Amino acid sequence: MHYLGLSHHLVALNFIITNFDKKSAWSSGQVKVTDTDFDGVEVRVFEGPPKPEEPLKRSVVYIHGGGWALGSAKISYYDELCTAMAEELNAVIVSVEYRLVPKVYFPEQIHDVVRATKYFLQPEVLQKYSVDPGRIGISGDSAGGNLAAALGQQFNQDANLKNKLKVQALIYPVLQALDFNTPSYQQNVNTAILPRYVMVKYWVDYFKGNHDFIQAMIVNNHTSLDVEEAAALRARLNWTSLLPASITKHYKPVVQTMGNARIVQELPQLLDARSAPLIADQEVLRHLPKTYILTCEHDVLRDDGIMYAKRLESAGVEVTLDHFEDGFHGCMIFTRWPTNFSVGIRTRNSYIKWLDQNL
């Protein structure tokens, strides 16, 4: 099914990710589901069936998407994804119910995820859930992929937490806010579900910024050549060198000579690697865990993921880039009627298969 025919499903998506009827914790015959909190952060824990030959289980800390402002670990689409992961991987899945905009802003979402994960990694907590401390991964989709990447980098710089995570799996992650004119942003500027304007608005809202900046940021006025603060970072996402010709096609970089330096002065978070993991120092990327990145052709964020894969590879990290030509942003949670898309089922299966083989 072609993505461009999906625009009439935009209303359905908005309903899904803002659905106020959150699903209560429930347990099936195979998966035990409980709501609790880890160091004050709400989590939903999915305990898969034990394998007789494996007394200790694998585990994934999962972070849902929604532009840092929408979604929940408790809505049915994420509840069902985590249940499937727990059952198929015989694993413990910790889905983090981090606080959202406008209740909190950057970097509080990261703090919630880090706090919950640190708590979970305590030996006594892992023992309670029968989790193997050597087989734990971090994962998330979209804005959740952003938070997972930020967490991975933060743990990698902490001697007490380094090597605690075996893998990271990022699903169409959002990774940078310096260039809103990558080929995928240009190609998919008005596509349904996540058009460019909406993504830029999510960024501004994440930083509690001024909506007057949105139009200027769309044309990269915030990272123009006269904005000195952005100059050193621009090379780290030079897509003319990081992306293959099959991706760059006929698209040209949008680099303004004169822009609006006030944007970065008022929103320095734009240049913070905690919000934009793609612009982290090369040294920070070294020794990150084995990585899976899923990207979709019909997605403004496609090139964020491809560029991060390239930068990680250059830093010596083992990376699997799983690209879906017929994929669209958010597709992995669309696996049941009335939004049961073939590509949703295929992306989910591919993701879970990679986890099964590498975790």
Nearest to 32 by CA among 50, 41, 51, 45: 45
Token pair listed for 180: 């809103």
> Helix count (H) and strand count (E) of the chain?
15, 8
User: Distance between CA atoms of 315 and 318, rounded to whole angstroms?
Assistant: 9
Q: Is the Cβ–Cβ distance between 44 and 97 less than 8 Å?
A: yes
Alpha helices, DSSP H, located in 28-142: 76-89, 108-120, 123-128
Residue among 187, 201, 216 at smallest CA distance from 300: 187
d(CA 72, CA 77): 9
- As a whole number of angstroms, the distance between CA 284 and CA 277 comes to 10
- Alpha-carbon gap, residue 100 to 353, rounded angstroms: 30
Encoding tokens for residue 177? 């806010």
* Angle (nearest 5°) at CA 200 between 65 and 108: 50
* Nearest alpha-carbon partner for 279 in 352, 351, 324, 230: 230
55-74: buried (b, 16+ CB within 10 Å) or exposed (e) per residue? ebbbbbbbbbbbbbbbbbbb
d(CA 355, CA 359): 5
- Residue numbers annotated as active site: 142, 299, 329
Rounded Cα distance, 56 and 241, in Å = 44
